[in-house]
Amino acid sequence: ALACSLRRGSWKVPGVFGPGEAAAAVAGAWAQVVGRRYSLAGRQRVYELREVLVPVPERGELRLATDGDLELVAGWHYDFHHELFGRTDREQARQAAEARVRAGDIFLWEDDQVVSVALKTRPTRHGISVGLVYTPPELRGRGYATACVGELSRKLLGAGWEFCALFADLANPISNHIYERIGYRPVCDYEEYRFEEA
């Protein structure tokens, strides 16, 4: 029904992203309707956290990003999406970063210098998501992402949200391990399908 409705509306559908079985069903139906092949592009796990399990770090601090951080945040926004999806645009990354910084959504972990970034996003009545978790390759393996995500999650729970959620790429076991150490628990897996060009 969804595929037929999209076809009637002349929608362009580059791909499908959603819970495993549902995403596969929609991708298959759309492929039949338009006569295009599709392939699995990636799998992500949805996590939920209600209590932060890691202690407050002894070094460094979480702070809100400001306009003075915009160039850094825009660059990391681009790097994050390029690393995860292999496709992105520098100007779009800059515009998105600017909007998020101005909205007060971007947080940085600072330990003598800014070393990691995360954002709050998609608030609902009871929960809020954490995303854009990125540490440059040369700074990885030092616990910065754990500190950044852990303290941002603690801050959000302290502000009254019942839970935090996030997506993690299943092809990256390190990030999944980090989130589980912090206290995030798996909820379900999502799959992304992409269609061949017309």
Under 8 Å between Cβ of 184 and 130? no
Residue with tokens 């595929």: 3
Q: Residue 75 belongs to what H/E stretch? A: helix 70-85
Distance from CA of residue 175 to its chain's centroid?
Answer: 11
User: Given pLDDT bands bounded at 50, 70 and 90, which one contains residue 68?
Assistant: very high
Q: Is 17 exposed, middle or buried (0-12, 13-18, 19+ CB in 10 A)?
A: middle
Q: Is 58 exposed, middle or buried (0-12, 13-18, 19+ CB in 10 A)?
A: exposed
Distance from CA of residue 72 to its chain's centroid?
Answer: 18
Residue with tokens 């379900």: 188
Q: List, for residues 142-193, the tens digit of each pLDDT value.
A: 999 999 999 999 999 999 999 999 999 999 999 999 999 999 999 999 999 9
Per-residue pLDDT at 7 exceeds 90: no
If we measure between CA atoms, which residue out of 42, 43, 107, 95 comes closest to residue 69? 107
Across 35-39, 61-65, 194-198, the highest mean pLDDT is recorded for 61-65
Q: Residue 32 belongs to what H/E stretch? A: helix 20-34
**Helical residues (DSSP H) of 115-192, grouped into ranges:** 144-158, 173-182
As a whole number, mean pLDDT of residues 98-104 equals 97
Residue 5: phi and psi, rounded to 5, are -65, -40
**Mean pLDDT of the chain, nearest integer:** 94
Residue 133: phi and psi, rounded to 5, are -80, 115
